[in-house]
Amino acid sequence: MSGETAYRPRRSVLYMPSSNERALEKAKALPVDGLILDLEDAVAPDHKEAARENACAAARSGEYGQREVTIRVNGAGTRWHDDDLAAACAAGPDGIVVPKVDSADEVLGLVAAMERHGAPERTRLWAMVETPRSVLAVSEIASASPRLAVLVIGTNDLVKELGARHVPGREPLVTALSLALLAARRAGVAILDGVYNDVRDLEGFEAECRQGRDLGFDGKTLIHPGQVEPCNAVFAPSTEEVAQARGIVAAWDAGAGTGVVTYEGRMVEHLHVEIARQVIATDEAIRARG
């Protein structure tokens, strides 16, 4: 199995409790790039089985259009994990999200279990980085298997485990976020930022989206429909950035054969052209979604 090649927008990926049928229905019309149908923390123990059935039915339904549909199973060691994993593999979503993946060996065990349960090749593993152990092993986790496509940061669990606090600017988390980003880029996998808990505070939310984007995240995980559009806007290249990118590529092509040109007074080398082409490709992929 090879890693992903084509760019896939993952600006906004929305969690929803799979026990909430209204939310599952509502998601079919949200302009979100991806969904995490949750069986873990957002679902009370008494509702786990029903939530599993709902999530698998949703993943099978084909009613979510281009949105990437994933199922978050309960963690290894819980009494639901094995049944969740078997049912999710049979349903064949785009991804299976596993919480608290702490080592490369765990990744290999999960991949082996996915194969045993007959998960289709398109079903990728998304590993959550949300414990001190996972942060310290993140480089090995990210490159453990080509089936692993996405790292997802779990900032609520990380804050809990660190004994830290949720503060504007997230200073207590920046080291962990940066280590995970380095690991994801080295391994060539995507990486999603954690959630923002105050669904009424759009200003604070947008500031955190911008911080995640500037650090290098592909997108952010969300918990409420009201967070989707502002998040998409922050993680998409702006009109000005796309115009700049086109200008850089045109200046480079006009100076064909020279190793360095200038655009609007700034030096442009091959690496800047690669960045510009990536911006244009991202913009085109987002536009293709309509």
Ligand X SMILES: CC(C)(COP(=O)(O)OP(=O)(O)OC[C@H]1O[C@@H](n2cnc3c(N)ncnc32)[C@H](O)[C@@H]1OP(=O)(O)O)[C@@H](O)C(=O)NCCC(=O)NCCSC(=O)C[C@H](O)C(=O)O
Binding site for Mg ion (CB under 5 A): 130, 154, 157
Q: Is 173 helix (H, G, I), strand (E, B) or coil?
A: helix
Min dist CB 90 to Mg ion, Å, is 25
CB 145 within 8 A of CB 184: no
CB 31 within 8 A of CB 229: yes
Exposed / middle / buried, residue 168 (Cβ in 10 Å: 0-12, 13-18, 19+): exposed
Considering beta carbons, is residue 10 or 72 the nearer one to Mg ion? Answer: 72
Quick one: which H or E segment has residue 157? helix 155-162
Min dist CB 3 to ligand X, Å, is 24
Q: Taking CB within 5 to 8 Å according to partner kind, which of ligand X, Mg ion, none is near residue 149?
A: none
Residues 154-173 that bind ligand X (CB under 6 A): 154-157
Min dist CB 97 to Mg ion, Å, is 10
| Residue 68 interacts with ligand X (CB under 6 A): yes or no | no
| Residue 9 interacts with ligand X (CB under 6 A): yes or no | no
| Residue 225 interacts with ligand X (CB under 6 A): yes or no | yes
Tokens of 213: 């984007």
Tokens of 85: 């994993």
CB 266 within 8 A of CB 276: no
What one-character DSSP code corresponds to residue 99? S
Rounded to 5 degrees, what angle do the CA atoms 177, 33, 152 make? 25
Residues 125-154 that bind ligand X (CB under 6 A): 130, 154
Binding flags for ligand X, 184-223, as an x/- string (CB under 6 A)? ----------xx---x-----------------------x
Min dist CB 34 to ligand X, Å, is 12
| Residue 23 interacts with ligand X (CB under 6 A): yes or no | yes
A 10 A CB-CB count for 84 gives 25
Size, binding site for ligand X by CB under 6 A: 23
Q: Taking CB within 5 to 8 Å according to partner kind, which of ligand X, Mg ion, none is near residue 119?
A: none
CB 280 within 8 A of CB 246: yes
Q: Is 252 helix (H, G, I), strand (E, B) or coil?
A: helix
Of 9, 10, 11, 17, which lies in the binding site for ligand X, with binding defined by CB under 6 A? 17
Q: Taking CB within 5 to 8 Å according to partner kind, which of Mg ion, ligand X, none is near residue 199?
A: ligand X
CB 150 within 8 A of CB 124: yes
Residue ranges that bind ligand X, judged by CB under 6 A: 14-17, 22-23, 26-27, 38, 41-42, 99, 130, 154-157, 194-195, 199, 223-225
